[in-house]
Structure 1
Amino acid sequence: MHRILYRPRRMMAALALLFTTASALATYDAAGQSGGPVRCEIRATPDGDTVTLEALVHADRSVSGGYSFHVEGADGSGNSDVEQSGTFSATPGRPTTLGTVTLEANGTVYNADLDIRVGGKRVSCDERVNYSATSSKARHRGARYGG
């Protein structure tokens, strides 16, 4: 361990491996958890020069709670910083839309975070979205469950 501290590249590689493993486990937990009543999703849909980010909650039973949806990004022409929050009720069988944000798809990277609170528990997901006119991709960073 002592040698890693004197070698910044090895330390960064070790931290990256640890973070990747933790992120993968959190994503697996979120996808495979059947005991939890809710799951979150951030859906990115391109449409020409724009991209729409939609905050969704999936429920295994009827639930109500609160949420906050935060999207931020920056490019050469300015910054985007959108915050939405409120209460919701969801029923099983289909996702419930909590919030929607439409932004320019000009190659800007957007970071979107969704926090859902139900019955004293918290479910979070985040998404890093990068859309351009020539390619579109969204990279899922993970979902987290907390108390």
Structure 2
Amino acid sequence: MLRFSSPSRRTLLALGLVLAPAAAWAAMSGSTTPSGAPVRCEIRATPQGGLLALEALVETDKSVSGRYSLEIEGSGSGGGTQLTQGGPFETKAGKTATLGSVTLSSKGALYDVSLDVTVAGKTISCNERVSGRI
């Protein structure tokens, strides 16, 4: 029978506290569908000459098809924004596919971006708060 002394228990507890955020991040950034294909989503924000380009991306380990929904809400000096894009998609194994994209004002803007990707009945989500000052 193995017995752990108190220092070992403390070490294991500290290790668990360090690894918990990493496990939570991994769960948010990807998921495995019932077909066994890991699916990862990403929201990419790129400044472009006073504007902000937002892209909804998905990558899988196997060729899959599914549906996506991209929602963007925000406000800035030019007023408010509320956009929704969505529809079917297909992607090849190991390739990153752009599901949707939009270019918005970056001047004093703050956007909440939500991407839901559904493959084989399982949905994963990516959510970001993006400032025009990136």
After TM superposition, the score normalised by the length of structure 2 is 0.75
Name the counterpart of 1:128: 129
Q: Which stretches of structure 1, 4 residues or longer, exceed 6 Å deviation after superposition?
A: none
Shift of 1:108: 0.9
Cα distance in 2 for partners of 1:53, 1:122 equals 21
In structure 2, relative to structure 1, the CA distance for the partners of 1:70 and 1:93 (3 Å cut) is same
In structure 2, relative to structure 1, the CA distance for the partners of 1:116 and 1:97 (3 Å cut) is same
Which 5+ residue runs of structure 2 have no aligned equivalent? 1-19
2:46–2:52 Cα contact (<8 Å) kept:
yes
Name the counterpart of 2:119: 118
Shift of 1:33: 5.8
Name the counterpart of 1:144: none
Name the counterpart of 2:74: 73
Task: Name the aligned partner's letter for residue 92 of structure 2.
Answer: T
In structure 2, relative to structure 1, the CA distance for the partners of 1:32 and 1:39 (3 Å cut) is closer
Name the counterpart of 1:4: none
Cα distance in 1 for partners of 2:81, 2:21 equals 26
Name the counterpart of 1:58: 59
User: RMSD of the TM alignment (CA)?
Assistant: 2.1
State the identity as a percent.
47
Cα distance in 2 for partners of 1:113, 1:77 equals 21
1:28 aligns to what SS in structure 2? helix
In structure 2, relative to structure 1, the CA distance for the partners of 1:30 and 1:52 (3 Å cut) is same
Matched, 1:27 2:10: no
Shift of 1:57: 0.5
